[in-house]
DNA sequence: AATAATAGCACAAACGCTTGCGCATTTCAT
DNA sequence: ATGAAATGCGCAAGCGTTTGTGCTATTATT
């Protein structure tokens, strides 16, 4: 049997009220004597008391819990974000309920429903698709919501993301600068805002350079997609001189296909990718990439969320961070 | 205002009891008519009803929630495990509260305290240190607990881990087979069981081959540790012919140091590491490694946990899985 | 027609905690 | 000595559910 506040009350001969107040640090406020406070705290320790959050939250409505919903944790990009956010929230005294949606909108929706049952005080989400109804509903309901990485254009839901357009633009520029004109872009989840922005950046950069051919193919932020699309590219008639992959996972699949087909980077084909990885420096051909400020994204997202939770007014809640291009050796100068 | 079961009761003219029963699928059991059932379900939808878990859990004591406590999510090894477990538990109808302890025993302890407040039904943990008191206490208390990857020797807490001894042994054997005699092992967290087992496997393999020199250094499963220790090795007088790193993160740090010092793998020094990575195939020198069965670990851990939660008897709850050695090109034959 | 079953639902307590209010008792000022 | 203020604490309602028990119609049985 777990010991409750009542046991402490009985054991000390004090009332439940007083015990609750002492244990919640409201002793001063209610003028509980030091003696009583110590007495209560001691017997709480002695009885191994652990408060029941469910009971506390039921009454107070505060859960000290937030939800973090991500498309997929096995992608290092999201894993890092999860790691940071988790730690930051912990420092703010919050628990994090995490859900990996497996890029599945149904799981996301079910989770979104379920978390409401937990009286969460905030929601941090990188949406798996472009269905915003539920999220918007929660937001309108007054729940502090912050989108991470992926967001919804035109809505006033706070978000923090990198400037995907700029990142893709500069990656493409880099290719063009090195003389590439026949470039194909392997994209990810078409329903996600980062993907749309990146594709747009890619296309606009080409257009600016008067390159009319702008092939964009693929449909998932996955290694498999990268592999398949690369194979398709290699087996086609018009093989490009460069590939731009829109995520680290896609890049991995792409490299796998290239390796199998014995195509050398950058001699035979150039490659640049969105997302950075610690491994990129050590690859056979160090991979040029667009690095997102992971740590900053997490910090700002938490900052905004906490502000919302605490009712603080923020000047701006829709934040774009600048990605950085890291030039390594995977793009050949034609 | 959130709609409660009471609102539904009022709206339908039925009692709270009946509403609760219908909504919990206990209609048959209490012979609630189909008409009533449908009526209740419909108005529940109409009113946008979301059950309050806190209230439900308070009464029932069941939370449909488990806790997953990991040392650090940014390590792909744990990220993958988190991803899988999260999904599996979701399919079992459970929410997962995740905590990234940052390899910090204090955070772990605080978390362990806190989760009790959440009436969690199970605990999945890869301990950050070797302090088992709290975990053992929870286990003895009747809470289903399963250790992942790291476990406590001599206790009967269930665990699922890879056979770290065997993995390290075979990695070392591989080095010896290729003629290496001067090998140093860069270890991780000395307080963790995998580290101890791996070090032992390393030492035993050397002993078996009558190699008396067995240097083991370092103290963290981190890139930084790998970097520093490698630098130390390179600056020393007796430079080994091979390095065995005990994790992917350590290997990364090691490679960084080697690159900076312009030491080539495997020409100048051989390297083999514990943990596999999707990137290993694409490295400048594809890295030989010991692969752990990530997916199986997660599945079995969840299987055991669910069995415990459901009061099912299991034949064995302390499981070792076999790691696999993947030979690539990072070990030179002397 | 009288009794027994069954169907269909409601009462009310309880889960462990928070909190607005209020009541003694003591201390202080005058 | 007396009223006012301060001190120290308890009452009891209520948060939204679940659940053992029991009550009333309706139907079946003979």
- Please classify residue B85 by burial: count the beta carbons closer than 10 Å to its beta carbon, then call 0-12 exposed, 13-18 middle and 19+ buried: buried
Cα–Cα distance for residue pair B80/B295, rounded to 1 Å: 8
> What letter does residue A324 receive in the DSSP assignment?
E
Query: For residue B167, what are its two tokens?
Result: 């993995």
Total count of residues recorded for chain B: 334
> Which residues 6+ apart lie within 8 Å of B106 measured at CB?
none
Cα–Cα distance for residue pair B157/A218, rounded to 1 Å: 46
The residue ranges of every structural domain in chain B are 5-51, 62-162+294-324, 164-291
Residue found under tokens 């439900």: B56
CA of A248 to C1' of C2 (A): 82
Cα–Cα distance for residue pair B240/B13, rounded to 1 Å: 82
Cα–Cα distance for residue pair A166/A200, rounded to 1 Å: 9
pLDDT at position A7? 93
Query: Strand B65-70 relative to strand B215-217: parallel, antiparallel, unpaired?
Result: unpaired
Cis peptide before A266 (omega within 30 of 0): yes
Looking at the structure, give the CATH architecture of the domain made up of residues B5-51. Answer: Orthogonal Bundle (1.10)
CB contact under 8 A, B86 and A100: yes
Residue A249 pLDDT greater than 80, yes or no = yes
pLDDT digits (tens, 9 = 90+) for B90-132: 888 888 888 999 999 998 988 888 888 888 899 999 999 888 9
CB contact under 8 A, A82 and B79: yes
HSE-CB of B26 using CA atoms within 13 angstroms: 7
Query: Cα angle vertex A303, ends A297, A307, to 5°?
Result: 145
CB B170 within 8 A of CB B325: yes
Full strand arrangement of the beta sheet holding B270-274: B215-217, B183-186, B242-245, B270-274, B288-291, B324-326
Report, in this order, helix, strand and coil percent for chain A, each rounded to 5. Answer: 45, 15, 40
Chain-centroid distance of CA A87 in Å reads 14
Q: Give Cα separations from A68 to A112, A127, A180, A293 (angstroms).
A: 10, 10, 41, 19
pLDDT at position A141? 85
Full DSSP string of A192-243 = SHHHHHHHHHHHHHHHHTT----EEE---SSHHHHHHHHHHHHHSSS--SEE
> What letter does residue A280 receive in the DSSP assignment?
G
Residue A54 pLDDT greater than 80, yes or no = yes
Total-model pTM: 0.87
| Nearest-CB residue to A95 (from B56, B97, B256) | B97
Residues from chain B that touch A74, judged by Cβ atoms under 8 A, are: 76, 79-80, 83-84
Confidence of residue B158 (pLDDT cuts 50, 70, 90): very high
Cα–Cα distance for residue pair B79/B160, rounded to 1 Å: 17
CA of B33 to C1' of C7 (A): 9
**Better-predicted residue by pLDDT, A137 or A275:** A275
Residue A1 pLDDT greater than 80, yes or no = no
Residues from chain A that touch B55, judged by Cβ atoms under 8 A, are: 54, 58
Q: Are the folds of B5-51 and B62-162+294-324 the same? A: no
| Nearest-CB residue to A96 (from B79, B98, B102) | B98
Give strand letter and number of the nucleotide nearest B8 (CA to C1').
Answer: D16
Q: Chain A: residue nearest B137 by CA?
A: A48
Interface size between A and B, measured as CB pairs under 8 A:
144
Cα–Cα distance for residue pair B106/B297, rounded to 1 Å: 26
Nearest Cα of chain B lies from the Cα of A217 at a distance, in angstroms, of 23
| Nearest-CB residue to B96 (from A98, A117, A278) | A98
Give strand letter and number of the nucleotide nearest A2 (CA to C1').
Answer: C16
pLDDT digits (tens, 9 = 90+) for B57-84: 888 888 888 999 999 999 999 999 999 9
Lowest mean pLDDT among A57-61, A326-330, B73-77, B233-237: A57-61
3-state SS class at B130 = coil
Span B264-285, average pLDDT: 97
Q: Highest mean pLDDT range out of A149-153, B100-104, B202-206?
A: B202-206
- Please classify residue A218 by burial: count the beta carbons closer than 10 Å to its beta carbon, then call 0-12 exposed, 13-18 middle and 19+ buried: buried
Query: For residue B67, what are its two tokens?
Result: 């806790």
What's the topology of domain A164-291? Rossmann fold (3.40.50)
Give the N- to C-terminal CA distance of chain B in Å, as an integer: 74
If one looks up domain B62-162+294-324 in CATH, what number appears? 3.40.50.2300
Q: Chain B: residue nearest A54 by CA?
A: B54
Query: Cα angle vertex B92, ends B86, B98, to 5°?
Result: 25
Residue A5 pLDDT greater than 90, yes or no = yes
pLDDT at position A57? 86
- Average pLDDT, whole number, for chain A? 94
Q: Give Cα separations from B259 to A48, B265, B271, B272 (angstroms).
A: 53, 9, 13, 16
CB B289 within 8 A of CB B275: yes
Give the N- to C-terminal CA distance of chain A in Å, as an integer: 75
CA of B31 to C1' of C4 (A): 19
Share of chain B above pLDDT 70, in %: 100
Assign residue A61 a region (left: φ > 0; alpha: ψ between -120 and 50; beta: otherwise): left
| Nearest-CB residue to A278 (from B51, B82, B252) | B252
**Chain D nucleotides reached by a protein CB under 7 Å:** 7-12, 14-21
Query: For residue B322, what are its two tokens?
Result: 């076999």
CB A97: neighbour CB atoms within 10 A?
22
Cα–Cα distance for residue pair A229/A38, rounded to 1 Å: 68
Chain-centroid distance of CA A137 in Å reads 20
Give backbone dihedrals phi and psi of A50, rounded to 5 degrees, phi first: -130, 120
Cα–Cα distance for residue pair A135/A151, rounded to 1 Å: 11
Nearest Cα of chain B lies from the Cα of A188 at a distance, in angstroms, of 19
CB B206: neighbour CB atoms within 10 A?
23
């Amino acid at each position: 049997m777990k010991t409750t506040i009542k046991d402490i009350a009985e054991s000390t001969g004090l009332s439940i009220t007083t015990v609750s107040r002492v244990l919640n640090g409201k002793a001063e406020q209610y003028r509980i004597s030091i003696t009583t406070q110590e007495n209560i705290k001691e017997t709480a320790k002695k009885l191994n008391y652990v408060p029941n959050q469910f009971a506390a939250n039921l009454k107070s409505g505060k859960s000290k819990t937030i939800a973090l919903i991500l498309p997929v944790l096995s992608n290092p990009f999201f894993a890092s974000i999860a790691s940071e956010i988790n730690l930051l929230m912990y420092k703010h005294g919050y628990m994090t309920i995490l859900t990996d949606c497996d890029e599945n909108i149904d799981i996301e929706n079910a989770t979104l429903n379920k978390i409401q049952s937990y009286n969460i005080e905030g929601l941090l989400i990188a949406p798996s698709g472009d269905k915003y109804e539920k999220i918007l509903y929660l937001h309108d309901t007054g729940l502090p919501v912050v989108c991470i990485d992926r967001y919804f254009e035109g809505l006033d839901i706070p978000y923090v993301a990198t400037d995907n357009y700029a990142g893709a633009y500069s990656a493409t520029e880099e290719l063009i600068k090195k003389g590439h004109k026949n470039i194909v872009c392997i994209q990810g989840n078409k329903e996600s805002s980062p993907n749309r922005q990146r594709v747009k950046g890619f296309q606009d950069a080409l257009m600016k350079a008067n390159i009319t051919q702008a092939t964009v193919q693929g449909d998932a932020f996955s290694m498999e997609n990268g592999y398949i699309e690369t194979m398709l590219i290699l087996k086609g008639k018009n093989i490009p001189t460069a590939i731009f992959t829109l995520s680290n996972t896609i890049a991995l699949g792409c490299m796998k296909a290239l390796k199998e087909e014995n195509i050398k980077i950058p001699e035979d084909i150039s490659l640049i990718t969105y997302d950075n990885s610690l491994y990129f420096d050590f690859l056979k051909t160090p991979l040029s990439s667009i690095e997102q400020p992971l740590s900053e994204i997490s910090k700002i997202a938490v900052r905004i969320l906490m502000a919302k939770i605490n009712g603080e007014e923020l000047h701006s809640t829709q934040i774009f961070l600048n990605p950085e291009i890291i030039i390594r050796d995977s793009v050949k100068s034609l």
